[in-house]
Structure 1
Amino acid sequence: MADPRIIAVPQETREACVSPDAKIAFLRRPDAYPDRPQQVETIETRLSWVFLTERYAYKLKKPMRLPYVDFTSLTARRSNCLTEMRLNRRLAPDVYLGVVGLLARPDGSFRLGGRPGPRDLIADWLVWMVRLPQERRLDERIRAGAPAPADIERLGLVLTVFFQGGLAEPMTSADYQRRFEADIGRNLDVTVPRVTGPLAERARAAAATQVAFLSEHGQLLRARAAEGRIIEGHGDLRPEHVFLDGMPRIIDCLEFSRDLRLLDPVDELAYLALECERLGARRVGDAILDLYSAWSGDAADRRLIAFYRSFRASLRARLAAERLDEAAGDRRGDWLARIDAYLRLATVRPIGQG
């Protein structure tokens, strides 16, 4: 395979028209990879297919269009791969190795990476990563008992340094609050029509509490923008994206929307704390928030943190509700259970009390 620090296939290489099924069938074969793995595992997400060998992971974007992303063109998928690599190297510099091309040969066969021949065509692009040990993932460590305090301290330090190194993004206080007002309404519009009575009522109750916070304590939110606290963060800081393997590595940032990455570090950490609480480890998330507060000097009001957690829980319920449109059988029950869990967390503690 070519040097991982460079793009393996020139952009000007001609495109091949190849079905996703043909690409997937090839990438599932061990002999597709230069390191000749014994086996290849395939994981499908909403936006990608990920192919795992013993040493590496390769991510292939789906040629799909959603309201927030358009990967229908090869150019767009290549651009997204490059963006994903650049952004994720901020918190996992030794994990994201490069972007490699899937080449289509004149005889109809494929080749992954390397220099194209004169008649080769580019069939697609993949993000090439080091495979990290799953047992070191924060969610797996929580399920196994609890992460070691030293691991949590290192994670808190990495995140504090990352957030403090982010440049303040200009945003007016009014615009910052309007973002939340719009999303609270969107959460309701998406979730309520897709769930049963009790879940719908819980979604409405959470939204009402969040709206009341903005009305009574909105100055706490607006002050974050006025103080220059909004930076370009990770955007999807969940335990399954955190690896506690020596120096913590954090992967899979929200690469397709810069607007969604512009946020308050306390909001992002409240999101991580929410997800830890959902897994039964509230103390882990709270500890990371406390470490950030102590090391950065950014002691956010507890009422604001409670609002951020409640809002994030409603947002996660909404994203789960969207998956009901394409779910069937047992998967539908799984998504409904997840919606229920998030909406319970959205209303589990009062907002607006110090």
Structure 2
Amino acid sequence: MRAQTVSIGEKIAFLSQAKNYSETTSTVEALETHMSWVFMTHDYVYKMRKPIRLSFLDFRTLADREHYGRESLRLNRRLAPDVYLDLLPLTVNEAGRLRLGGSGRVVEWLEKMRRLPRHAMLDCAIKRNTVKIADVDRFMAVLLDFYQRTGPVATTSDDYQRRFAQAIEANYLALAQPDFRIPQGLLKKLTAAQEEFVSSRGQLFDDRIAKGRVIEAHGDLRPEHVCLAPEPEFIDCIEFDRELRVLDIADELAFLAMECEMAGAAFIGTRIFDQYRARMGDELPDILIHFYKAHRATVRAKLSAWHVEDYPVAEHPSWLRQAERYLQLAASYVAQW
């Protein structure tokens, strides 16, 4: 291994070996995601960002990856203060030997996180059918505390509606690709309905902004990011694009509610908004919740379809079926406005 150059493959090979970690662990589980490599020891998780550029992020330089690693610590500590522990350098010495946390030349940066028990995550609890109303009330108490202490973000109705209009168009263009075989009639109907909602119901968005409900939130609040520990924690917020975190609280909660419904636990979403209305004193119109859910379901359909670029051909049909299920769910919300 030359000291001047360390390939991604060499980094992955080093980080996949238990002997290279300071803590005692018998195994290391390596997992590749769309944007990173994740290495899991017995007690900790280490996240290494890929040196990639996508339409919504740029991690190509080492400085970029260090910056977003530090942003991730700062932002995720808002809702998971005991999980996000440190940003560690992966270094190489003059002899070409790699070391995690060493004092040589830095060749990569890794977030170090406390490993949460998989069975305690909301998505697993939904699959086991063990989620109780008390669980929802506990995590909502933490979320609502966070929302109440987070000040509003200054924005205009025109800017807020423009973001939706652009996202709706981007969703359509992505899902209209012939290779995805998405039913075009369904896609066009959903796109037209969402475009019409944004253009004709501006007062709803005006009211949300005027009430201070647009904040710098989590941004990616899905069941797999909710830990039902005695003190609930929320992980993996969006660190790479502030605009994706700046949203209506109701939009964020509608995303979580929609994902719970997709997983077969619609009662969770009902309880989420019952708690929100009671605690925040916010007379949130149902029609806006339906819009937010439909929009989020369409975004998730797009992301599901994009997974065909990351997985073997044999897995493509399941991802495309999932994309269509999200669109069917979106259509059920559109039918309610």
Q: 1:60 aligned to 48, 68, 73, which one?
A: 48
Question: Quick check: 1:86 aligned with 2:70?
Answer: no
**How big is the shift at 1:196?**
5.6
Residues 298 and 327, structure 2, Cα contact 8 Å, conserved in 1: yes
Residues 233 and 263, structure 1, Cα contact 8 Å, conserved in 2: yes
1:39 corresponds in structure 2 to 27
Q: 1:199 aligned to 151, 176, 183, which one?
A: 183
C-alpha distance in 2 between matches for 1:293 and 1:16: 58
**How big is the shift at 1:182?**
1.3
Residues 101 and 123, structure 1, Cα contact 8 Å, conserved in 2: yes
C-alpha distance in 1 between matches for 2:94 and 2:125: 48
Residues 291 and 333, structure 2, Cα contact 8 Å, conserved in 1: no
Question: Quick check: 1:148 aligned with 2:132?
Answer: yes
Q: 1:278 to 1:138 in 2, by over 3 A?
A: same
C-alpha distance in 2 between matches for 1:220 and 1:351: 18
C-alpha distance in 2 between matches for 1:35 and 1:270: 40
Q: 1:350 to 1:122 in 2, by over 3 A?
A: closer
Q: 1:71 to 1:150 in 2, by over 3 A?
A: same
1:124 corresponds in structure 2 to 108
Residues 169 and 262, structure 1, Cα contact 8 Å, conserved in 2: yes
The 3-state SS of whatever aligns with 1:141 is helix
Select between 19-28 and 177-186 the one with higher mean Cα deviation.
177-186
C-alpha distance in 1 between matches for 2:218 and 2:324: 26
The 3-state SS of whatever aligns with 1:348 is helix
**How big is the shift at 1:166?**
1.2
Question: Quick check: 1:29 aligned with 2:34?
Answer: no
Question: Quick check: 1:275 aligned with 2:259?
Answer: yes
C-alpha distance in 1 between matches for 2:98 and 2:231: 37
Question: Quick check: 1:112 aligned with 2:100?
Answer: yes
Q: TM-score if structure 2 supplies the norm length? A: 0.95
Residues 49 and 60, structure 1, Cα contact 8 Å, conserved in 2: yes
C-alpha distance in 2 between matches for 1:98 and 1:303: 42
**How big is the shift at 1:68?**
1.6
**How big is the shift at 1:194?**
4.1
The one-letter amino acid of 2:99's match is R
Alignment of 1:4-15 (within 5 A): none
Alignment of 1:63-74 (within 5 A): 63-74=51-62
Select between 165-174 and 270-279 the one with higher mean Cα deviation.
165-174
Residues 177 and 222, structure 1, Cα contact 8 Å, conserved in 2: no
Q: 1:99 aligned to 87, 112, 125, which one?
A: 87
Alignment of 1:172-251 (within 5 A): 172-194=156-178, 199-251=183-235
C-alpha distance in 2 between matches for 1:245 and 1:228: 30
**How big is the shift at 1:197?**
5.7
**How big is the shift at 1:352?**
6.1
The one-letter amino acid of 2:29's match is E
Alignment of 1:307-346 (within 5 A): 307-346=291-330
Alignment of 1:284-299 (within 5 A): 284-299=268-283
Question: Quick check: 1:76 aligned with 2:64?
Answer: yes
Residues 52 and 131, structure 1, Cα contact 8 Å, conserved in 2: yes
**How big is the shift at 1:262?**
0.4
Residues 307 and 351, structure 1, Cα contact 8 Å, conserved in 2: no
**How big is the shift at 1:122?**
1.1
**How big is the shift at 1:215?**
3.7
**How big is the shift at 1:334?**
2.0
Residues 84 and 253, structure 1, Cα contact 8 Å, conserved in 2: yes
Aligned residues, how many? 335
C-alpha distance in 1 between matches for 2:120 and 2:310: 31
C-alpha distance in 1 between matches for 2:334 and 2:33: 34
Residues 173 and 223, structure 1, Cα contact 8 Å, conserved in 2: no
Residues 168 and 229, structure 1, Cα contact 8 Å, conserved in 2: yes
**How big is the shift at 1:317?**
1.1
Residues 199 and 343, structure 1, Cα contact 8 Å, conserved in 2: no
C-alpha distance in 1 between matches for 2:234 and 2:293: 20
**How big is the shift at 1:229?**
1.6
1:6 corresponds in structure 2 to none
1:11 corresponds in structure 2 to none
Supply the RMSD in Å over aligned alpha carbons: 1.6
Unpaired runs of 5+ in structure 1?
1-14
The one-letter amino acid of 1:77's match is R
Unpaired runs of 5+ in structure 2?
none
Select between 204-213 and 296-305 the one with higher mean Cα deviation.
204-213
**How big is the shift at 1:195?**
5.2
C-alpha distance in 1 between matches for 2:4 and 2:269: 47
Higher relative helix content: 2
Per-residue CA distance 1:57-102 (angstroms, 9 max, x = gap): 0000101111221111111111111000110000000000010111
C-alpha distance in 1 between matches for 2:334 and 2:42: 47
Give the fraction of aligned pairs with identical amino acids, expressed as a percent.
42
Select between 215-224 and 313-322 the one with higher mean Cα deviation.
215-224
Q: 1:340 to 1:352 in 2, by over 3 A?
A: closer
The one-letter amino acid of 2:239's match is E
